[in-house]
Amino acid sequence: MIRLAFASLANRKSSAWLTILAIAVSALLLIGVERVRTQTQDNFANTISGTDLIVGARTGSTQLLLSSVFHIGALNNSMTWQSYTHIKELPGVAWNIPMALGDSFSGYPVVGTNEDFFKHFKYASEAALEFAAGRVFNADEHAVLGAEVAQRMQLNVGDEFTIAHGSGGISFSDHDAHPFQVTGILQRTGTPVDQAIYIPLAGLGLVHGELIQDDNDDSHDHEHEHADTEQQPVYTLSAVLLGLDNRALALRMQRQINTYREEPLSAIMPGLALTDLWRTLSLFEKALFTVSILVVATGLLGMLTALLASLRERRREMAVLRSIGAGPFTIFGLLVSEAFMLALAGVSIGVLMLFAVLHFGADWLLLHTGLLLRATPLTITEWSLVGAILVAAILLSFIPAWRAYRNALADGLTIRL
């Protein structure tokens, strides 16, 4: 039966290949959307790892998360340095990463922080930041660039640039008097870290006039290289990332910070906040999946149309097969086998196209879209989608197969003028 179906399709190469191509593109889109959905969700959840609490001025959890982790939007309020000093000295705090936002460079956010960011910030499964070139900053006028910033702005270690006040591509004033020198470029992570510039808090305070420098050059150099931990480089901070000695104490620490009387603060758990944020995006996820389902349906309907359109031309073929002993179920099975072969070929080519795109275009996708996609084996869900396409093709093929079954032998042998 399979050999007969293959020979029949070989006689109709053009229409068969067009049908296979339509199904392949449909399968590519459906499985590709599922791959983008699952891996984007994983990457989204792994944007920050190992951080137990994010603390900022009183605001919503989503706004604090978007601003501190994704550098999207701006916080209406900031927390004082005194509150930061109190928080980092709380019992149970293992490490802290202060962050000050609000400046930018060519639309990329500038994050004021300290060396602890490169020691303690983790992403994915507790993966640490690594340098592709250079080293961490050790002076106020130094800066470390994310991979995307360095590539798009064509900056290398040793180059200088100036930042501007304002974020989101809107700059209110340039800090031309205080250029920064690139001392390091981070490895690509596929997270918002790639799209940010990191400078010392003291450097941020310097450009804003918040850090008072000593006129003595020797003491100035000493201050840069061996800053006192009690020195206040900036007046306010946007957020603080906290790591605890015991994660089981996170809820108690969160309540303690949220009820801090000296200043209204918010402490959020990044894992829960990321989950809540992803739920708000589920509508777009469902809409994209629905569109891909409709595209698959269009491809399968194209296969059905091709099979139905060929029945009139194949009446004589069916009649000859029946006249040499082929039973009605043989004719029925022939049409179903052809549809299955078309669907199987289309799905196989679609999957191969998907892996080709992921293998050869992963770097391009990461650079131009920010999507970190991997050519990993098909998941159970993706195999289920492949099976669903094949089952749907078989079910749809019952329509032309039933019509071929009902065609009379005499009707097929009759010459119509």
* Residue 139, pLDDT score: 87
Last residue of a domain, one of 204, 235, 268: 268
* Residue 71, pLDDT score: 87
Q: State the chain's mean pLDDT as an integer.
A: 81
Residue 133 shares a structural domain with residue 253? yes
Using a 10 angstrom Cβ sphere, with 0-12 exposed, 13-18 middle and 19 or more buried, the burial of residue 229 is exposed
Is 274 within a domain? no
Last residue of a domain, one of 268, 291, 313: 268
Q: What residues are paired with 382 via a beta bridge? A: none
Q: How many domains does the chain have?
A: 2
pLDDT at position 315 over 80: no
The more confidently predicted of residues 122 and 42 is 122
Residue 133 shares a structural domain with residue 222? yes
* Residue 244, pLDDT score: 93
Residue 102 shares a structural domain with residue 59? yes
The more confidently predicted of residues 408 and 186 is 186
pLDDT at position 398 over 80: yes
Is 219 within a domain? yes
pLDDT at position 217 over 60: no
* Residue 197, pLDDT score: 95
Residue 251 shares a structural domain with residue 384? no
Is 345 within a domain? yes
How much is the average pLDDT of 270-281? 81
**pLDDT tens by residue, 339-381:** 888 889 999 999 999 999 888 887 777 666 666 677 788 889 8
**pLDDT tens by residue, 404-416:** 766 644 454 454 4
Residue 57 shares a structural domain with residue 203? yes
How much is the average pLDDT of 287-304? 82
How much is the average pLDDT of 292-312? 79
Are 185 and 150 within 8 A, CB to CB? yes
Residue 248 shares a structural domain with residue 360? no
Q: Which of 93-102, 202-211, 328-337, 359-368 has the highest mean pLDDT?
A: 93-102
* Phi (first) and psi of residue 194, to 5 degrees: -65, -20
Residue 38 shares a structural domain with residue 74? no
Is 131 within a domain? yes
How much is the average pLDDT of 286-313? 79
Q: Which of 1-10, 93-102, 316-325 has the highest mean pLDDT?
A: 93-102
Q: Which of 42-56, 178-192, 217-231, 311-325 has the highest mean pLDDT?
A: 178-192
pLDDT at position 103 over 70: yes
Last residue of a domain, one of 233, 268, 303: 268
Q: How many whole angstroms separate alpha carbon 127 and alpha carbon 401? A: 56
Structure tokens at 350: 């679609």
Residue 62 shares a structural domain with residue 192? yes
Using a 10 angstrom Cβ sphere, with 0-12 exposed, 13-18 middle and 19 or more buried, the burial of residue 45 is middle
Is 228 within a domain? yes
Rounded to two decimals, what is the model's pTM?
A: 0.70
Residue 32 shares a structural domain with residue 59? no
Residue 123 shares a structural domain with residue 23? no
Is 263 within a domain? yes
Position 282 confidence tier, pLDDT thresholds 50, 70, 90? confident
* Residue 5, pLDDT score: 65
The more confidently predicted of residues 67 and 323 is 67
Is 273 within a domain? no
Residue 253 shares a structural domain with residue 341? no
Listed range (78-82, 120-124, 223-227) with the worst mean pLDDT: 223-227
Q: State the residue range of the domain holding 64.
A: 53-268
Closest by CA position to 104, among listed 139, 66, 71, 152 = 71
Residue 13 shares a structural domain with residue 139? no
Listed range (128-132, 206-210, 326-330) with the worst mean pLDDT: 326-330
Are 95 and 120 within 8 A, CB to CB? yes
Is 276 within a domain? no
pLDDT at position 220 over 50: no
Helix (H), strand (E), coil (C) string for 229-252: CCCCCCCEECEEEEEECCHHHHHH
Structure tokens at 81: 């340095």
Listed range (85-94, 308-317, 382-391) with the worst mean pLDDT: 308-317
Are 303 and 343 within 8 A, CB to CB? yes
